[in-house]
Amino acid sequence: MNSSWNLFTVFLRIGLFSIGGGYAVIPLIREQVVEKTGWISEKMFTDIITISQMTPGPLAVNTSTFAGLQIGGIAGAAAATTGCVLCGVVLSLALYRFFQTHRTSACVLDVLNGLKSASLGLILSAAFTIIGLALYGSAKPGAGFFALNRTALCLLLTMLFMLRKWRIHPILIMLISGIAGFLLYL
């Protein structure tokens, strides 16, 4: 379907610009594989995010791997995963050396504080993307009140209540949610 090289280069760009990792990378992956290239549908991307959150390992790596697998099979998964993590590994090694030399610099500490703020913004963007996909079936704003999936909203509020009120373990919440989703969306 798509060459491994195309997947590698797309995910290399994603990895290069995914400051903050995890939830911050979700909007970048969605933009590339759903909107720009059209390799997968919005629904499939939502399913990939769900599976990625439930499997062990970093969210960005899991999402890249599952998206690559869906798009290009095993070779696509390897290419997407390698592309996603390669920049992070190289940049981490370079930044480690840099920060070891400049760890007392006030300017460097100010830059780090700015990056923390940018990461928070990216994480919030990812949260709104996931909420939009879950409750409206689309990540685009303005889907309208009548497009709201009330079943998903009730399930979200119920699980949030259970999590906060009774401090139920998150894995149990995911299990209950999965069973409820299976029963409610048959």
User: Who's near 176: CB < 8 A, 6+ residues apart?
Assistant: 159, 162, 168
Predicted confidence band of residue 164 (pLDDT cuts 50, 70, 90): very high
Which of left, alpha, beta for 21 (phi over 0: left; psi -120 to 50: alpha)?
left
Residues 14 and 83: beta-carbon distance below 8 Å: yes
Predicted confidence band of residue 139 (pLDDT cuts 50, 70, 90): low
> What mean pLDDT is predicted for residues 110-135?
85
User: Who's near 125: CB < 8 A, 6+ residues apart?
Assistant: 24, 27
Confidence (pLDDT) at 142: 61
Q: Where are the domains of the chain?
A: 4-139, 149-186
For 20-31, the pLDDT digits (tens) are 667 778 888 999
